[in-house]
Amino acid sequence: MKNKQVFFEDWGLIDYKEAWDRQEAIFAATVKLKTELRNRGENDASFTGIKTVTHNYLIFCEHPHVYTLGKSGKKEHLLLTEDQLAEKHAVFYPINRGGDITYHGPGQLVVYPILDLDNFFTDIHLYLRTLEEAVILTLADFGIPGGRYPGYTGVWLDADDPQKARKICALGVRCSRWVTMHGLAFNINPNLGYFKNIIPCGIEDKAVTSMEQELGKKVPVKEASEVLKRHLYILFGMLA
């Protein structure tokens, strides 16, 4: 039985490690329940008992200054020493998502979907493209034309021109037994100077941008969040 109900949570500005631990706890509990259900045969069509289902979560938040490195990333893509990190009031974490290095900070909307994709579709490529599409649609609502850059994940502007292409949203996910965690980082109005301290996503020759940079004015994170949330619910067929 598919359960498309999604519990939405706004964690506000939260320490990265605290959010990671909370994600891990929800993720581990979901995987554990899913394994137990399969072992008991409750997902079998012939099972006649009371159905138990896995839950889905959509978490929005912002983080204090932090750099995170995915499993396929290179430590040398962080261009700061430990002392320089401290001077910038930033921290660094190697983590268990896909992708390379990225930055999170105030003014950037971070989205953590913890979904059992068996409730939606079991296609990780489609999952990533759907996350991207929600951001592309959100940008369009604010008059910013976004798109995809061939060979890379995330959402880009002027993706058809290699000289102008710049990234506005990064993706990095983990998936086990079709349960997801981590997600996307959408630049609303962060301090873009912090991206100069890394080789973002391991891409040396492409710029990073934000909604503020493109529009010439700040966009309230809450306003962009509501638009993105709506598109995610529609595209995934989520139920509140």
Q: pLDDT tens-digit profile of 24-46?
A: 999 999 999 999 988 887 555 44
- What's the pLDDT tens digit per position in 147-203? 999 888 999 999 999 889 999 999 999 999 999 999 999 999 999 999 999 987 666
Residue 61 is a catalytic residue? no
Query: Is the Cα dihedral 229, 181, 93, 132 positive or negative?
Result: negative
CATH classification (class only), 6-236: alpha beta
Catalytic residue among 61, 169, 175, 201: 201
pLDDT band at 82 (very low <50, low <70, confident <90, very high): very high
Question: Is the CB of residue 57 less than 8 Å from the CB of residue 182?
Answer: no
The arrangement of strands across the sheet holding 101-104 comes to: 91-94, 66-69, 101-104
**Domain residue ranges in the chain:** 6-236
- The model carries a pTM of 0.92
Residue 104 φ then ψ, to 5°: -125, 145
